[in-house]
Amino acid sequence: MNKNSKIYIAGHRGMVGSAVWRALKADGYTNLIGKTSSELDLRDQIAVTQFITSEQPEVIIDAAARVGGILANSDYPYQFLMENLQIQNNLIDAAHKQEVKKFIFLGSSCIYPKFATQPLKEEYLLTDTLEPTNEWYAIAKITGVKACEAIRKQYNKDFVSLMPTNLYGSFDNFDLKTSHVLPAMLRKFHEAKAQGNTPVTLWGSGTPMREFLYVDDMAESVVFAVNNVLPEHLYNVGTGKDITIKELAETIQNVVGHEGEIIWDSEKPDGTPRKLMDVSKLKEAGWHYKTELLQGIEQTYAWFLKHQAELKQVKLSK
């Protein structure tokens, strides 16, 4: 791709999409396009087809999805399945029919079986049952991976899927009802500190292990995929290192400066016991993460503090 290649980033206002936009700009790309959900409903097949036909991008990066944590997946299973299927299928099919040169599909490590051998390798896909707490989202994302693989296999097109581990960073979702574990903890500890270091209650036992990747590093992996023709259809993106949820909580507590008690509600679900990615394939291809967890949490908290006024608009779940 040359630096003037037209690149459409679906979901360019979200945490991942906005990071990809910044990273591409920093790499010298000058012809980026994006549409808000009010301007283009990606669930509308006709609207998506018309948009791709009109704009004729050379590259499409699919960073658009309905996302959330265990509670959101449990409360809205149909929306997590159907809306994600609609979004990705409309984009993939339009890209194929309009001869888009490169399509980069972004998914999640939740596509892998719940009890798969650790670390998770790309070839473990569809070898066992999924984690029930997010299977609706996972099934949608697996479908996207397989659609891109099918197009690549049948038509020899440059469609590639990048599966990141748990992401966090600037523009994350800090709504306590719908956010993922790291931003939810960060907000809880911040507000407990502000209320006189009151106790913080967290879900589960604290024993599950999780891997976390700073979103700007994820964006750099997308730029790498734009700049290179990758030989395989599916790549894990992560650090290859994990910690317990308890260790994560204590790290965030220290960064925030909260001095109160942490209470673990063991009656709430833990989710998958461990999710560590084998990131050797992408590392061998030439990409490696840069930001260590402590540094990333510090940068995320600094962003959170800077944008508190906007975040106060979000309704809290008590």
Q: Domain for residue 318, yes or no? A: no
Residue 200 CB-half CA count within 13 A: 27
69 is in an annotated binding site: no
* Residues near 132 by beta carbon (within 8 Å), at least 6 away in sequence: 114
Q: Domain for residue 263, yes or no? A: yes
Q: Which residues are catalytic?
A: 137
Determine if the pTM surpasses 0.85: yes
Q: Domain for residue 58, yes or no? A: yes
Residue 60 CA to its chain's centroid (Å): 17
260 is in an annotated binding site: no
- The pLDDT tens digits for 7-20 are 999 999 999 999 99
166 is in an annotated binding site: yes
pLDDT at 316: 41
Mean pLDDT for the chain overall: 93
* Residues near 65 by beta carbon (within 8 Å), at least 6 away in sequence: 11, 84, 87, 88, 106, 137, 141
Number of domains in the chain: 1
C-alpha span between 42 and 86 (Å, rounded): 7
204 is in an annotated binding site: no
- The residues of the chain scoring below 50 in pLDDT are 314-318
pLDDT at 269: 81
C-alpha span between 297 and 251 (Å, rounded): 8
pLDDT at 73: 77
| CATH number, domain containing residue 40 | 3.40.50.720
- The pLDDT tens digits for 9-60 are 999 999 999 999 999 999 999 999 999 999 999 999 999 999 999 999 999 9
Domain that holds residue 26: 7-311
165 is in an annotated binding site: yes
Kindly list the distances between the CA atom of residue 253 and the CA atoms of 186, 209, 256, 298, 316, in Å, as whole numbers in the listed order: 8, 18, 5, 11, 20
Q: Domain for residue 1, yes or no? A: no
Tokens of 313: 């608009």
- The pLDDT tens digits for 110-134 are 899 988 999 999 999 999 999 888 8
pLDDT at 273: 82
- Helix %, strand %, coil % for the chain, to 5? 45, 15, 40
Nearest by Cα to 294 from 159, 150, 168: 168
Q: Domain for residue 2, yes or no? A: no
Angle at which helix 245-256 crosses helix 293-306, to 10 degrees, equals 50
203 is in an annotated binding site: yes
Q: Residue 167 pairs with which residues in a beta bridge?
A: 213
